[in-house]
Chains A and B, each alone.
Chain A
């Protein structure tokens, strides 16, 4: 059991989401920086998709109910365990009664906490992650509150303190042209790839709103509703693009200018409001190569930690 002493803001239980239910209107959800959650999970000996905590805003403080280990990955929140520093990308042994404190993000936007055994909330519609918009999954379908008790799964074998190299963040996101790309004027296309886009404060798990010059689409008709996916860059009539993320609706009707590749979605999850981002055009082969590179990183991590 983990006791929530300070709850931060919009901290939620997340896993790798619930794919396969889009036909019921239920989106995939799951950790926005899935790579960080997977790394943290493997550090403490969990399977890649075990449930952990997504922490977008501190301060968060937890008291551990049993001995075990913890790992943080993603944003650096100046974390301490009973006052001693805990760095992202490290496995740290923890004893019952110790307190983990996460202050505020020094770099990046979201921290991920994995504890050995995972956060053992019930499966809802096939996953443990919280759907904050629809109010189910995770801990009672909501963000953490002071006084909450998070059930922790069965202990894993103990391993000593150990660190891994975390991937480097970059403000450049690779993207494929979207199906409605040709319907945008040539200068809108040029501006999308060529100019910097500022992350709006109005950005969350549903999507990131980007501020910059407006992009006009020449489509005469609204599009009949069609599936949208995390990474889709849609442009509503206001001309300000929105990059959809894990909690986005499953279908939409705005023109799709581009699609951020899956391997770069975590970069967006770690971009802070006010950050300036750029889009780099790429093709299907490059997207597949980027996915392979990420899989190779995880395999290397596995080899380094467990020799397999």
Chain B
């Protein structure tokens, strides 16, 4: 990947960011994982936050200013290889699509010129890979959304999206583990929990895991 395509910038007073432009791809994400592994023991680094084909490096305020760190970040990126993550798994998640659980299924179908059933078949027919966790506790950003299902985020984020909601935002799809504000189009609800603060680890999914969605109907009356 030519370095000219890479964006390097600061975010506020203590973060340096490296970002690869769209389209999102898993090869790039493997290099992001590699970069995060390499920087984990760096003396100036407080925290590493992988995003979708990007990495934000939170720096120790006592260390270098973020603009002074960009050159080092770029040099490391040039060496970056596709990392293999340890202990990745294949995970099936049950989803109730449409109805009250997926209020935006119709809108996604309309924008994709598909029927709601075709949207469900496409969404549940794909294998997804966990690129990174972010947004809210335990939320996994998944790569592998069929291009036909790409849908813009809502113009105004919702104040509350129920726990388990399965959404599409741009080229991404995922499950909201907790009730939270959100700007994605909601097409269904996953019936298994993805976050438990008292569990070790607290999150169900890990970067590198492969995820499939399995359509189910309401298991029993609530």
Residues of A that sit less than 8 Å from B by CB: 19-20, 22-27, 124-125, 131, 133-137, 141, 176, 178-179, 202, 206, 221-222, 224-227, 229, 231-232, 236-238, 249-254, 256, 259, 261-262, 284, 287-288, 291
Contacts and interface: CB of A to CB of B under 8 A. Distances in A.
Q: Which of A133, A202, A238, A254 has the most CB of B within 10 A?
A: A133
B148 interface: no
Contact of B197 (A27, A136, A221, A252): A136
B212 interface: no
A287 B65 CA distance: 11
Given A22-B47, A288-B13, A134 B132 contact: no
A125 B197 CA distance: 7
B139 A25 contact: yes
A229 B46 contact: no
Given A23-B133, A222-B153, A236-B183, A262 B11 contact: no
B155 to A, nearest CB: 5
Given A19-B47, A225-B135, A253-B153, 11 more contacts: A22-B49, A134-B195, A202-B159, A225-B141, A227-B56, A229-B12, A251-B134, A251-B141, A253-B170, A259-B11, A259-B12
B67 interface: yes
Interface in B145-188: 152-153, 155-157, 159, 169-172, 177-178, 180-181, 183
Given A125-B197, A226-B54, A253-B183, A26 B137 contact: yes
Interface in B5-27: 9-15, 17, 19, 22, 24
Q: Give me the 9 closest cross-chain CB pairs, A-B, nearest first.
A: A227-B56, A136-B197, A251-B134, A259-B12, A224-B52, A227-B49, A226-B51, A287-B13, A179-B9
Q: Which of B14, B66, B135 has the most CB of A within 10 A?
A: B135
A221 B49 CA distance: 22
B61 interface: yes
B178 A176 contact: no
A226 B17 contact: yes
A76 B122 CA distance: 56
Contacts of B133: 23-25
B136 interface: yes
B4 interface: no
A88 to B, nearest CB: 27
B11 A251 contact: no
Given A259-B13, A284-B66, A134 B137 contact: yes
Given A25-B203, A124-B198, A251-B51, A291 B13 contact: yes
A227 B134 contact: yes
B12 A24 contact: no
B129 interface: no
Given A22-B47, A24-B138, A133 B178 contact: yes
Nearest to B159: A202
A65 B201 CA distance: 36
Contact of A251 (B10, B13, B135): B135
Interface string B74-115: 000000000000000000000000000000000000000000
Given A24-B201, A225-B141, A227-B51, A261 B12 contact: yes
